Structure 1
Amino acid sequence: MVHRIGWLRAAVLGANDGLVSTASLVIGVAAAGSARPEILIAGLAGLVAGAMSMAAGEYVSVSSQTDAERADIRRETMELKDAPEVELDELTRIYVERGLDEGLARQVATRLTQMDALAAHRRDELGISDTVTAHPIQAAIVSALTFAVGAVVPLIVAAVAPSGQITTIIAGTTLFALAVLGGLGASAGGAPVLTGAVRVTFWGALAMAATAAAGALFGVSLS
């Protein structure tokens, strides 16, 4: 399960944003009185812009995290070289704080240091693990693709729904899709399915309601 955390976060965030932002945009434009072609153009533009934004944002975010982790590892490498005994004492204290007695903690710290000192400090002192770290390009691609997949749902509905019911049908379809997405994401992460579904659906409904209100308030057709 742990090895999926890096890309799972990006995938769930991308799909959720694709659904919510595109559905909200389409509903807002529809509520303003625009015709189907204008609604679809606005939704498609939102899909492309959102996917690129998600990719760029995830790449920058994960790259910054990776740079910080590399800096910590470089500093730890120098400290292990310059003051190995101090680092051994530090590792021992970590294990004592986790519940081992002093003698056993010292034995464990010594043994792990002999095997791979940097790996031990990286994992137990810095909290850095390859199994939970996403890679920048991977996160960017996953975010963009899942955003696009999520955004396609309200676009398809907008293309086929009766003209007078576009807003209602998109809202209902999106809420259902959000509930499924939230439940799947929670299940994959080991969290309660109902909690995940309700949490995602609530915020999606709030976003769509806000954009619908804005569109209806201004009531300006884009046609």
Structure 2
Amino acid sequence: MAKTNDQESNQEVDFSKRAQWLRAALLGANDGLLSTASLMMGVGALRKDSRTMVLAGIAGTVAGACSMAIGEFVSVSSQHDMAVAEMERKEGRGEAGAVEAEKESLPNPFQAAVASAVAFAVGAVVPLLPAAFIRAYRLRVAVVVAVSSAALLGFGGLGAYLGRAPYVKCCFRVLIGGWVAMAITFAFSKSFDVLGF
């Protein structure tokens, strides 16, 4: 019985570790999707040609992925440096055994940076792909909103699964938030056109 409990405990710990990475990847993908879709909607409010809209999305994807990677690298590097400093203090107190175990779990800034950039780019591809193949302006905007909405619902559902939260509440929270972001960006850009800027 004790063995079974230990196995369950280990599985929970492993799932918890995986869930942290999955949640980070999910947030990165959601950020890539939402920021790229919103950027494309903002540009689409002023320029109806697909080339301009798609190029803006591509530029936003590259810029966002680089920003996410650099931000994650700096953040994880700081965590790494703090962990190393703490281990050095423990070694000074003669706790070498504990230090060896901690060295194996040190965060890797390069892995975190690459994972963050890839996750962002994966999310950004969702609105970019359909927009690249649709010439008609109204249809293109509608499809970008539709595929982004479907992906947001999926991300919300996955987030609910990882966090063991209510599915409907999480899905619609993410969806409504995405709609608000796209609508604000579109309306803000459109206001410049209306005012004649």
Q: TM-score when scaled to structure 1?
A: 0.70
Residues 43 and 189 of structure 2 are in contact (CA less than 8 Å); yes or no, is this contact kept in structure 1?
yes
Tell me the residue number matched to 2:11.
none
Aligned pair partner of 1:157 in 127, 130, 142 = 130
| Equivalenced residues, count | 179
Aligned pair partner of 1:139 in 104, 112, 117 = 112
Superposed displacement of residue 73, structure 1: 2.3
Matches of 1:151 and 1:218 in 2, distance apart?
25
Q: CA RMSD in A?
A: 2.6
Spell out the pairing of 1:89-168 with structure 2 (5 A cutoff): 116=97, 130=105, 134-161=107-134, 162-168=136-142
Tell me the residue number matched to 1:37.
51
Matches of 2:188 and 2:108 in 1, distance apart?
38
Superposed displacement of residue 158, structure 1: 1.2
Q: What fraction of aligned residue pairs are identical, expressed as a percent?
A: 46
Tell me the residue number matched to 2:26.
12
Q: Which runs of 4+ in 1 moved over 4 A?
A: 116-120
Distance 1:164 1:139, change over 3 A: same
Which structure is higher in RCO with an 8 Å CA cutoff and minimum separation 6? Answer: 1
**Structure 1: stretches of 5+ with no match in the other structure:** 85-112, 123-127
Residues 30 and 166 of structure 1 are in contact (CA less than 8 Å); yes or no, is this contact kept in structure 2?
no
**12-21 vs 134-143, greater mean Cα deviation:** 134-143
Distance 1:206 1:134, change over 3 A: farther
Confirm whether residue 182 of structure 1 aligns to residue 156 of structure 2: yes
Distance 1:74 1:199, change over 3 A: farther
Superposed displacement of residue 119, structure 1: 7.5
Structure with greater Cα Rg: 1
Aligned pair partner of 1:71 in 63, 79, 85 = 85
